[in-house]
Amino acid sequence: MAIQPPSDGLITENAQQYYQGSQGFRGNNANDQNQEFTTSFDTDLILGSSTSWNPLDDDYGLNNFKVYTSASGAAGSWSEWTTQLEVTNGKTIKLVAAPGANAFIVVQLKILTGGKYGNTEAQKAYGQEVEDNYGSYQYVKLNDIVSNFLIGYVGEQKVLPSVKRTDVIFHAKRALQEFSYDTLKSIKSAELSVPASLTLPLPQDFVNYVRMSWIDVLGVKRIIYPANNLTISPYYTQLQDSEGIPTQDQWGNDVEGTPITQDRWHTANDRFINGNFNTNDWTNDMWAYNWDYTGAWQGASWGQLYGNEPQYSQVNGWFNMNQREGKVSFSSNLLDKMIVLEYLSDGLAYDLDSRVPKLAEDAIYSYILYSIVSTRVNQPEYVVQRLRREKSAKLRNAKIRLSNIKLDEIVQVMRGKSKWIKN
């Protein structure tokens, strides 16, 4: 069943707005100037500047939408509106010039496909505003969490007689941060290519890494392991004189040099680490454990990996976190490899992240309530402890709901346990 036009429910967009990111209007018969059209997207319209309606304006790329007009509304008859317009309250568009009597008008949010109204590549609305909105129904905005909390918990004959909105916002943000690490699992992923320097800067909203992998030609991810005891990225790399004393510049500050440890790690031959140094073809990972293409074991290497540590006896490579420079460095065999970095964010870096899964909404309310009451003076201890237990119980419920364990997946695992191993 398709999404019905909005009524009094929680869904405010129709199917065209949600899937295509477009909404149509008709100009009036009088062909007036300054006609206004109010959109009902869940996404606010953004005009980069007062002059960014002009494609030649430096801020034109900051707009998250385009406007198209047509006299007939037929396919291929649309042209981009490049005359002055204004946006108010993120919803209402004003066309300063007259669009034409009974003109067809379409507001198109930027979409990966560019939409179906532009006739040229430059006219198409390329972007991902529409895709960012997909699946948004499963979330509730942090601002709505704050407003709902004030309505449900604050007031006469309620748990909190009064509380400042700023206090609620503070504890709501702290809740989102704490939940993101263990409960919400706000895991992001970035697809990157390892350059010649064998180092990549950490993402802007990086908190901690979850997994590092490189992607082979089949699209299969190969886990990259942390270097741990193999190497290190020194935090300080002071230059020394002939006596070993760190040297200083004219202002008395230590002079920093290039980390020699990291340079040696980047130029190291990984085969001498993983024990695979008798192979003839070092460019093929199929030779990693001395097994050739014919299925024959390379006898010259028998016993070579016996007793080796699992950390060393693998060919996927290693990575090392360089905390001083805010970068991650890779072993030399990962040069030019496409890697995927999965990492944790705290959910507060961007507006888009400030969303809470509805499955954890009730737990967020309990966290905020407990945090506010427990920090106030002269609160009965039994009340504080009751709220603490309630917070913990709802947190457990949220973790269970968000674990996303499906019966079919459990069945698949159990079937795998019953297979016969044949020689």
Yes or no: say if 159 and 373 are a contact pair by the CB < 8 Å rule. Answer: yes
What is the structure's pLDDT at 239?
A: 72
Yes or no: say if 300 and 280 are a contact pair by the CB < 8 Å rule. Answer: no
- The beta-carbon contacts of 116-119 under 8 Å, at least 24 apart in sequence, are 116/20, 116/75, 117/22, 117/66, 117/68, 117/78, 117/80, 118/66, 118/68, 118/78, 118/80, 119/76, 119/78, 119/79
Can you count the helices (H) and strands (E) in the chain?
9, 16
Is the confidence at residue 8, as pLDDT, over 70?
no
Q: Please report which confidence band the pLDDT of residue 299 belongs to, taking 50, 70 and 90 as the band edges.
A: very low
What is the structure's pLDDT at 94?
A: 95
3-state DSSP call for residue 265?
A: helix
What is the structure's pLDDT at 283?
A: 47
Residue spans of the domains in the chain: they are 16-133, 137-185+348-394, 187-270+315-344
Is the confidence at residue 307, as pLDDT, over 70?
no
What is the structure's pLDDT at 286?
A: 45
Instruction: List the single range of 152-161, 184-193, 258-267, 331-340 with lowest mean pLDDT.
Output: 258-267
Q: Please report which confidence band the pLDDT of residue 164 belongs to, taking 50, 70 and 90 as the band edges.
A: very high
Percent residues over pLDDT 70 in the chain:
83
Percent residues over pLDDT 90 in the chain:
39
What is the structure's pLDDT at 304?
A: 56
Is the confidence at residue 244, as pLDDT, over 80?
no
Q: What pTM did the predictor assign?
A: 0.67
What is the structure's pLDDT at 74?
A: 92
Q: Please report which confidence band the pLDDT of residue 235 belongs to, taking 50, 70 and 90 as the band edges.
A: low
Name the residue with higher pLDDT: 114 or 269. Answer: 114
Mean pLDDT rounded to a whole number for the chain: 82
Q: Which residues contact 262 (CB under 8 A, 6 or more apart)?
A: 231, 233, 234, 322, 329
Yes or no: say if 70 and 89 are a contact pair by the CB < 8 Å rule. Answer: no
Is the confidence at residue 289, as pLDDT, over 50?
no
Extract the tokens encoding 345. Answer: 């964010």
What is the structure's pLDDT at 291?
A: 47
Is the confidence at residue 282, as pLDDT, over 80?
no
Of the ranges 18-22, 251-255, 307-311, which is most confident? 18-22
Is the confidence at residue 261, as pLDDT, over 60?
yes
Name the residue with higher pLDDT: 418 or 107. Answer: 107
Name the residue with higher pLDDT: 204 or 246. Answer: 204
Instruction: List the single range of 105-114, 126-135, 222-231, 392-401 with lowest mean pLDDT.
Output: 222-231
Is the confidence at residue 46, as pLDDT, over 90?
yes
Is the confidence at residue 5, as pLDDT, over 60?
no
Name the residue with higher pLDDT: 342 or 183. Answer: 342
Is the confidence at residue 125, as pLDDT, over 90?
yes
Q: Please report which confidence band the pLDDT of residue 15 belongs to, taking 50, 70 and 90 as the band edges.
A: confident
- CA distance linking residue 179 with residue 66, whole number of Å: 37
> Which of 85, 69, 87 is CA-nearest to residue 77?
69
Is the confidence at residue 329, as pLDDT, over 80?
yes
Q: Please report which confidence band the pLDDT of residue 273 belongs to, taking 50, 70 and 90 as the band edges.
A: low
What is the structure's pLDDT at 285?
A: 43
